[in-house]
Amino acid sequence: MIILIIGGSASQKLAANVAKELGETLCPLETKKFPDGERYVRIKGEVEKNVTVIQSTGFPQDENLIELLFILRTLKDLGAEHIKVVVPYLGYGRQELRFKDGEAISAQLVSNLIEESGADEFISINLHEDSVRDFFNIPTANLSAMAPIAEYIADKVENPIIIAPDKGALGFAEEIAEILGCNCTYMSKVRLGPDKVETRIVDVQCDFDSEDLDKVKKDSKVNIDSVAGKEAVIIDDIIATGGTIVNAIGILKEHGAKSVDVCCVHPVLVNDAVLKIMAAGARDLSSTDTLKSDVSSISVAKLIADALR
């Protein structure tokens, strides 16, 4: 079965790498902006029955989203019968609820638009809330990028301790700690505003010897004091302003971490986030390529290719 791969302008290189992994054809696509700012899309290749479209909808979110919708509708018009849509980073994915009266549930509308424009299957990576999948009536998958991230950490750090900078990231830290057979811990975070967070340490009860690997595998969570003299690696799904990570680095340094490396799945990286994180004392900052950035050195191409096979 021939599967045509199309990469939207936000995910061209990633789409090319996925096509390479699968040995499938990459379809040429022309996208541009008219002088008034409107988007133009033209699919330049022969459309197959089975098509996979790869397009993240990060910044500029509205433009990347509208481009994706144009691609989907055009593919259906041109005869595509089954379209798998891979949105490695789903913009608007963090507003899946009406937190305050009158708010738009943007994740719901975005999901509806993707489906109604022609998606037959939806695949994303580490959705901020897995419940976003409930907005779809088509098959969905929420892949985890923790395996490629763990592989990257294993190459760089000999004996890491994995740190979740908030409770929401604890599952990621545990996943990586389990793959690497190492310990992890987490912090507690209170968001005071879009660009301000307060972070505190959490007292994790641990009643086992951290050298006892069998027990560590059952429950790898340890107290923050365990970072003393260790190479700490912070893991989060998204880095936006960098505030969460800057706070976590400060706490790790205070508790005697030998070094602090930072990994995330989605490098949203608003304004001077990279600079703030490096200035706070990170040794390394790396992310996956769900979004293009200076630090997107861990590829999710194989992860996506495996899900498409």
Does the active-site annotation cover 189?
A: yes
The residues with which 196 forms a beta bridge, in sequence order, are 193
The residues with which 267 forms a beta bridge, in sequence order, are 239
Q: Name residues contacting ligand R5P, limited to 94-113 (CB under 6 A).
A: none
Per CB under 6 A, which region of 74-82, 180-188, 219-227, 233-241 contacts ligand R5P?
233-241
What is the 3-state composition of the chain as percent helix, strand, coil, each rounded to the nearest 5?
35, 30, 40
Per CB under 6 A, which region of 81-89, 205-213, 214-222, 231-239 contacts ligand R5P?
231-239
274 belongs to the binding site for ligand R5P (CB under 6 A): no
242 belongs to the binding site for ligand R5P (CB under 6 A): yes
Query: Which of 168, 171, 250, 281 lies at the binding interface for ligand R5P (CB under 6 A)?
Result: 168
CA distances in angstroms from 194 to 132, 234, 242, listed in the order given = 21, 21, 11
The 195-214 contact track toward ligand R5P, x by CB under 6 A, reads --x-----------------
Tell me the two tokens of residue 143.
């892949």
C-beta of 228 vs 275, nearer to ligand R5P: 275
Q: Which amino acid is at 218?
A: K
41 belongs to the binding site for ligand R5P (CB under 6 A): no
Q: How far is the CB of 46 from ligand R5P (least distance, A)?
A: 41
Tell me the two tokens of residue 309.
């096979």
C-beta of 80 vs 238, nearer to ligand R5P: 238
Q: How far is the CB of 216 from ligand R5P (least distance, A)?
A: 25
Say which of 33, 76, 156, 189 is annotated catalytic. Answer: 189
Long-range contacts (CB closer than 8 Å, 24 or more residues apart) made by 214-221: 216/181, 216/182, 216/183, 217/178, 217/181, 220/174, 220/177, 220/178, 220/182, 220/183, 220/184, 221/170, 221/174, 221/183, 221/184, 221/185, 221/186
226 belongs to the binding site for ligand R5P (CB under 6 A): no
Q: How far is the CB of 195 from ligand R5P (least distance, A)?
A: 6
Query: Which of 65, 170, 239, 252 lies at the binding interface for ligand R5P (CB under 6 A)?
Result: 239
Q: Which amino acid is at 191?
A: R
- Residue 235 main-chain phi, psi, to 5 deg: -125, 135
Query: Which of 241, 290, 293, 299 lies at the binding interface for ligand R5P (CB under 6 A)?
Result: 241
Instruction: For residues 247 and 234, give the distance between their C-alpha atoms in angstroms, rounded to a whole number.
Output: 11
DSSP 3-state of 48: coil
146 belongs to the binding site for ligand R5P (CB under 6 A): no
C-beta of 116 vs 272, nearer to ligand R5P: 272
Exposure class string for 239-258: b at 16+ Cβ within 10 A, else e: bbbbbbbbbbbebbbebebe
- Per CB under 6 A, residues contacting ligand R5P are 166, 168-169, 197, 236-244
Q: Known catalytic residues?
A: 189
